[in-house]
Amino acid sequence: MKSDQDVAETLRRLYLHYTRKSFLRTDPVVLVHRYSSPQDIECTGFLVSLFSLGRIESILNFCSSFLTRLGNAPYENLGDGKGIENFVPDRPYRFFSREDVVAIFQATSQVIRENGSVESVFQSFYSQTNRNLKRGTEQFMLYMRQLARRESHGIKVAFPLPSTSACKRWLLFLRWMVRKDNVDFGIWKSVNPSELIIPLDVHVFRAAQRLGLTTRRSASWAAAAEITEKLKKIDPTDPVKYDFALVRVGYFEYRRSAYGKTL
């Protein structure tokens, strides 16, 4: 077991090494870096994060196909609300049927038309729940399910509830929007970086176990919250800054079929 000081030094070293634009190609966020306006960044970031399931190559391929269809003004084109089906790829993707993807795009379009941004919708739920990220997320996800007007497994996967999920892709989107560095955009001002919870996928969960940041056996919201509390002892103002680096460790170790030696 590493000491707390060793863990902190390991995380700082990984953050400095991996949080560079040269590593963006290994992450779905690279697609969002195509855009410069806050509206386009939020719109595309929301959609890309929703479909960030599976191998990075598959994610980039599927998301690139609908981003190409959305053109150079994705916020404007999606918010227009017309011809939504034309933006959706002809094929399904993992848990999502094409009908699911159309419903997700239509729900996102309605958010843009009626509220202007995803941030404004989430901010209302976040405020109503006294800035409780778990309860605010639950309310937001239920709202998005209602807008999708479709009860299917794919819609439940797209908009998971923290009572039964770690909500990794939603927390990933929040990290992109709230934090600011070479990877994340920092365009949201309604949430503080200190309030974020780490997006927990298998790579981050295994790394956290190896570092002694959690004793839990499954990658749940509770595990993510526990890991985040440990990270706050290292950086209380920006605890999830280490997420991108930990994912890269898992990615490259998986490629070498020798996970964990970097740590």
- Which of 4 and 56 is assigned the larger pLDDT? 56
Please indicate, yes or no, if residue 185 is contained in any of the structural domains.
Answer: yes
pLDDT of 181 above 80? yes
Query: 98 near 88, Cβ under 8 Å?
Result: yes
Count: domains in the chain: 1
Which residue would you say has higher pLDDT here, 40 or 259? 40
The answer to whether position 45 is within a domain reads: yes
pLDDT at 15: 94
Assigned domain for 221 exists: yes
Give the per-residue pLDDT at 3.
81
Number of H helices, E strands in the chain: 13, 0
- For residue 259, pLDDT beyond 50: no
Domain that holds residue 242: 4-255
**How many Cβ atoms are within 10 Å of 68's Cβ, its own excluded?**
10
In the chain, what is the greatest distance between 2 CA atoms, to the nearest angstrom? 57
Summarised one tens digit per residue, pLDDT across range 114-141 is: 999 999 999 999 999 999 999 999 999 9
Q: Is residue 252's pLDDT more than 80? A: no
- Write down the pLDDT at residue 1: 56
Question: pLDDT for 13-35, tens place per residue?
Answer: 999 999 999 999 989 999 999 99
> Which backbone phi and psi does 262 adopt, to 5 degrees?
-65, -35
d(CA 259, CA 263): 9
Say what percent of the chain tops pLDDT 70.
Answer: 94
Q: Is residue 200 part of a domain?
A: yes
Q: Is the pTM of this model over 0.85?
A: yes
- Residue 238 pLDDT > 50: yes
Minimum mean pLDDT among 67-71, 104-108, 169-173, 205-209: which range?
Answer: 205-209
Query: 260 in a domain, yes or no?
Result: no
Residue 151 Ramachandran class (φ > 0 left, ψ -120 to 50 alpha, else beta): beta
What does the buried/exposed string (b/e) look like for 106-135 if buried means 16 or more CB atoms within 10 Å of the residue's CB? bbbbbbbeeeebbbebbbbbbeebeeebbb
Arithmetic mean of pLDDT, 90-109? 94
Q: Is residue 184 part of a domain?
A: yes
Exposed e or buried b for every residue in 197-220, given b needs 16+ CB within 10 A?
A: bbbbbebbbbbbbbbebbebeebb
* Whole-number Å distance between alpha carbons of 31 and 63: 8
Residue 93: predicted pLDDT: 87
Whether residue 154 has pLDDT greater than 70: yes
Average pLDDT, the chain: 92
pLDDT of 253 reads: 59
What number of CA atoms fall less than 13 Å from residue 122's CA on the CB side? 22
Residue 261, in any domain of the structure: no
Residues 191 and 63: their CA atoms lie apart, in Å, by 26
Residue 92: its pLDDT value, please?
Answer: 87
